[in-house]
Amino acid sequence: MSNARNRIYVFLLLCFLPQLLYGFGKNKVQYKNFDWYYLQSEHFDVYFYDGGEKLAEFAADVAETSYVQIRRTLKWEIRERLVIIVYNSHSDWKQTNVVSATFSEATKGITELAKNRIVVKFEGDYALFRHAIHHELVHGVMNDFLYDGSLQALIASEAYRPPRWFSEGLAEFLAVGWSTETDMVIRDAVINNYMPDLASLDYRLAYQGGASVFRYIASTYGRDEITEMVHLLKGKVRFEKVLRSGLGVGTNHFTHSWHRHLHREYWPEITRRKEPGEIARRMTSHQESRNYLNVSPTISPDGELIAFIADQKGYQNIYLMSAASGRVLKTLVKGARSENFEEFHALRPGMSFSPDSRRLAFPAKSGARDAIYVLDIQSGKTDKFELKLDGAYTASWSPDGERIAFIGNLRENSGIYLLDLSDGSLEALTDDIFSDDHPSWSPDGRQIAFASAREDYLDERLVPPDFRMSQFDYENRDIYVIDVETGMIQRITSTPGKEDHPIFTPDGTSLAFVSDRNGISNIYLHHLESGIEYPLTDIISGIYQINWDRRARKLVFTTFYEGGYDIYLLSYPLKMSALEPTPTVYMEAMQGETLPAYDRNWQPS
């Protein structure tokens, strides 16, 4: 596909002039000028700016491959070339003039209808980047199909706009198919009895619930029925008529059948696994707080304090709680009130206490770029370390207190950086195209464990000059350890599952991490010398963002349960017995193999 593609690079003088905007928060502030270029593939014009050429090439490859799947499913050829605009970072993406609205980190891409242009951002994770491109491309093709690809045509016509769950669910189903994350959300909704009916799906679970609807249609009626339903929408038919004409049932009957199917799939899980409250103590309650996110828990080395991020009344704040009582002691930082703490990267969090438990390190969006902040817990004084990077995530304080490891993004690269607290200097520990995440120091400070989608590329010198990320398995994430002095990398896990959030045991002989290899993210323990590993938990919801004190007496984690994210505390995790989690129905269907959301070997005809 790529060899047959003629790429045309054209320099465009599209300078977005910075503007001084009064106030902060909802206003869109523009910090820099962008000199735009574009490349052309068979069906797309992909725009990029300095440092974004490799990302644009990846976007073009993925868009062409995704378009083959979308075209086959929808049976529709786009009538005009689609424009895809690529930003190198979230901070740059927030400055876009393609749309006037502002968007949070939760939004990974947008498709505006006026000119049917797709805008996406890169945040260091190629799997999420591909997901966003594929998802938004479904919207772009649907806009071309239903509304001739323009807002004017939509206004001038009497075209019927499908329900939100239909649009977003179709985009998710075609972009992802199914995943352990989507499975977690739907499983939780079913076993906790809040799965909406079809008529209410627009207001809750439009994305995952909509994908569940299309998964059910494909498995029960066949994928061709999805195509027929889409084409019935073109006939300006109300959705009730679409269901009756396409599937032969009405909305109520369909909801009943779909829910019954979900009950049969998920209800058996209740007796097979533990609820999070059966193995750990609940430290937050999103129901009582009337919020959604309680994430990024980090426990102080002395085991006394827990810092975490929570959303309250539209703002994200950093809180401090007692590990003994669970009582919130104070609000450490209020987010989105100033340029310094605009966003805390709550969807990719990582805070860290200093070895003496007196200070807290965390990354945050600060104006045009991200910065690393060090906060004195007692006085509230903060030190800001400015970074010449596109993004910064997941901080981890070294045992000697002198350095902070974190993930930094620069152009198409995402790697581990070391911040020297004495002079603010940076050292790139890994500096290649592969996505790295969640660094964690060994007790002696000689090694850092991390998660990465690099397979066996343990030395950047082994990466061939003609390497194309679009042809690599960037979806599979494993655990690695790097020697801080030599830079030598060792691969620890090699499974079809997604491994993440590694932490060393206090004696440095083992690693705990989370893995979704049975279909649900659980905690596993890996002995470094013997290679023996086994699961410590088998819960019905996913475990994420694990962290323990220096003696591993208390482990905190985040889980999604009863419709929101909460923090739990697990006592003496290393005394837990080895378990044998049974696979979920979804994983049983996969038969232990990783099924990609799309076939990257498809070629445009």
User: What share of the chain in percent tops pLDDT 90?
Assistant: 76
Query: Which runs of consecutive H residues, i.e. helices, occur in 148-285?
Result: 151-156, 164-176, 180-191, 206-220, 224-234, 239-246, 251-266, 269-272, 276-279
For 355-446, strand residue ranges (E) read: 359-366, 369-376, 382-386, 391-397, 403-410, 413-420, 426-428, 436-441
Q: What is the pLDDT of residues 282-297, one digit of tens each?
A: 999 999 999 999 999 9
For the segment 424-449, the average pLDDT, to the nearest whole number, is 96
Residue 325, pLDDT above cutoff 70: yes
Question: Number of H helices and number of E strands within the chain?
Answer: 14, 30
pLDDT at position 601: 37
Residues in the chain, how many?
605
Residue 17, pLDDT above cutoff 60: no
CB-based burial, 233-267: b 16+ in 10 Å, e otherwise: beeebebeebbbebbeeeeeebbeebbeebeebbe
Token pair listed for 37: 């270029």
pLDDT at position 581: 85
Domains within the chain, CATH numbers bracketed:
1-159 (3.40.30.160), 164-267 (no CATH), 272-460+474-590 (2.120.10.30)
pLDDT at position 154: 64
Name the DSSP letter for residue 357: S
Q: What is the pLDDT of residues 453-498, one digit of tens each?
A: 999 999 988 899 999 999 999 999 999 999 999 999 999 999 989 9
Which has more pLDDT, 26 or 85?
85
User: What share of the chain in percent tops pLDDT 70?
Assistant: 90
Give the separation between CA 478 and CA 515, rounded to whole angstroms: 9
pLDDT at position 4: 35
For the segment 181-185, the average pLDDT, to the nearest whole number, is 96
151: pLDDT confidence band, cut at 50, 70 and 90? Answer: low
Partners of 45 in beta bridges? 40, 83
pLDDT at position 532: 95
Contact by Cβ (8 Å): 400, 421: no
Closest Cα to residue 441, out of 358, 363, 352? 352
φ, ψ for residue 111 (rounded to 5)?
A: -125, 110
Spatial neighbors of 41 by CB under 8 A, at least 6 apart, are: 5, 7, 60, 61, 63, 64
Contact by Cβ (8 Å): 335, 381: no
C-alpha radius of gyration, the chain, whole number: 24
pLDDT at position 10: 35
pLDDT at position 320: 98
For the segment 526-552, the average pLDDT, to the nearest whole number, is 96
Least confident of 16-30, 234-248, 435-449: 16-30
pLDDT at position 304: 98
595: pLDDT confidence band, cut at 50, 70 and 90? Answer: very low
Residue 1, pLDDT above cutoff 90: no
pLDDT at position 399: 98
pLDDT at position 14: 31
Which pTM does this prediction carry?
Answer: 0.91
Helices 251-266 and 180-191 meet at what angle, rounded to 10?
A: 100
CA angle 455, 461, 465 (to 5 degrees): 90
Which has more pLDDT, 209 or 105?
209
pLDDT at position 149: 64
pLDDT at position 259: 98
Q: What letter represents residue 217's amino acid? A: I
pLDDT at position 6: 36
What's the mean pLDDT when you consider all of the chain?
89
For the segment 552-576, the average pLDDT, to the nearest whole number, is 97
Give the separation between CA 324 and CA 502, rounded to whole angstroms: 25
For the segment 519-530, the average pLDDT, to the nearest whole number, is 97
Give the separation between CA 499 and CA 481, rounded to whole angstroms: 13
Give the separation between CA 193 and CA 510, rounded to whole angstroms: 39
Partners of 426 in beta bridges? 419
147: pLDDT confidence band, cut at 50, 70 and 90? Answer: confident
Token pair listed for 250: 């009405």
Residue 590, pLDDT above cutoff 90: no
69: pLDDT confidence band, cut at 50, 70 and 90? Answer: very high
Contact by Cβ (8 Å): 209, 269: no
